[in-house]
Structure 1
Amino acid sequence: MASRRNVALCAILLAAMCVAAAADSAFLVVHKKADLVKAKGTEKITVSISLHNAGTSTAYDVTLNDDTWPGELFDVVEGNPIQAWEKLDAGATLVHSFVLTAKVKGPFAGPPAVVKYRMAAKSVLQEAYSTPLPQLDILSDKAAENRYEWIKKFGVTYGPLMLVLSVVGLFVALLVSPSKSKKYTKAGKKRR
């Protein structure tokens, strides 16, 4: 009976040590997004990548590599898709962005960016991958019906609220306004 207790106690201690060792580490969460802006026959793509250290210790030698934009399709106009930082503290967030211009019309799906970093206790490089980009429709000709897309979004977003406010407003107007029958009876009494 005592040996089972000792084995169970050893297993609990070992699990606790593993959790404590894992808890004292850096863990990077990386999110990648792109915004398209059209301007006179060209299209600028602003790529933003945020790195958040969700771990409990500092990440060192952090390098971001988003060199996934082929040179025959895109030109880097501002910033750099490759960036390095000395460290990223626990709980801290970095945002890196760069701007591209598109050369070719068509769909493009951006693969994830790669982030490499070291933890204080380990010398081995760790890797984290960003979220991939959804398919971008580069230099597309938007259909005429999409021109008024904002009206549809406004109606879907605020339509129910506007309906409720209209009904409440109508109800209040009916309560506040005098009835026509009272006007006629008052007018009739004044004539006599």
Structure 2
Amino acid sequence: MEKAFRLAILAVLALIFVSSPFANASESPFIVAHKRVALKKINSGIERISVSIDVYNRGSATAYDVTLADDSWAQDVFDSVIGNTSKSWERLDAGSLVSHSFELESNVKTIYYGAPALVTYRVLTKSRLQEAYSTPILPLKILSDAESGKMTEKVTFFFIISLVAA
């Protein structure tokens, strides 16, 4: 999971550095959003999902009426615990960053494929709302048996050691 997180960070940074010259070529906002998820097992039947989304304005102009919506979390799988899946800001100045976090809980064992969050914003020179999407997340293994797999590896290791020692 840590390796995947590092790869996602590198991908976002590469996108930012590659797109920076293009974003500064015109007087407009350029929105980049990065979505991160962390799983924490509360007990044997409940897992908490912490979601954090960073929204950057890498452009050279202010974005107005910025709205973040991350409504892809299935209500039959997840319950909202802390915060909301959406957030709005009046403006996002050029070069600035805002963050939003919320927490969900699930008691359903599944592999969940989440969608990117949607960021909409207004540019003064355009009449239509502009859209940007966050980075996607890797599939989430909710209430997976990762611990039982580790236990099987340990038992196999000790079994092999006992055979070699005998």
TM-score category (smaller protein) = 0.7 to 0.9
The alpha-carbon distance between structure 1 residues 130 and 21, as it changes in their structure 2 partners (threshold 3 A), is closer
Q: How far, CA to CA, are the matches of 1:127 and 1:51 in structure 2? A: 12
Per the alignment, in what secondary structure is the counterpart of residue 128 of structure 1? strand
Looking at CA atoms only, which structure, 1 or 2, has the larger radius of gyration? 1
Q: 1:39 aligns with which of 42, 45, 48?
A: 42
Give 4+ residue runs of structure 1 displaced > 2 Å after superposition: 19-22, 143-147
The answer (yes or no) to whether the contact 1:81–1:98 under 8 Å persists in 2 is: yes
Aligned-partner Cα distance in 2 for 1:94–1:144: 39
TM-score (ref. length: structure 1): 0.63
State how many pairs are aligned.
Answer: 130
1:16-35 correspondence runs (5 A): 23-35=26-38
Unaligned runs of 5+ in 1: 1-18, 148-192
By how many angstroms is 1:39 displaced? 1.3
The separation in 2 between residues aligned to 1:56 and 1:22, in whole angstroms, is: 9
Letter in 2 for 1:57: A
Q: CA RMSD in A?
A: 2.1
Structure 2 residue 58 is the aligned partner of structure 1 residue 79: no
Q: Please state if 1:111 is matched with 2:119.
A: no
CA contact (8 A) 1:63 1:85 kept: yes
Output the CA distance in 2 between the equivalents of 1:21 and 1:138: 41
Q: Which has the higher helix share?
A: 1
* CA shift for structure 1 position 21: 9.4
Residues 1-192 of structure 1 aligned to structure 2 (within 5 Å): 23-41=26-44, 42-144=46-148, 146=150
* Structure 2, gaps ≥5 residues long: 1-21, 152-166
**Greater RCO (Cα-Cα under 8 Å, separation 6 or more):** 2
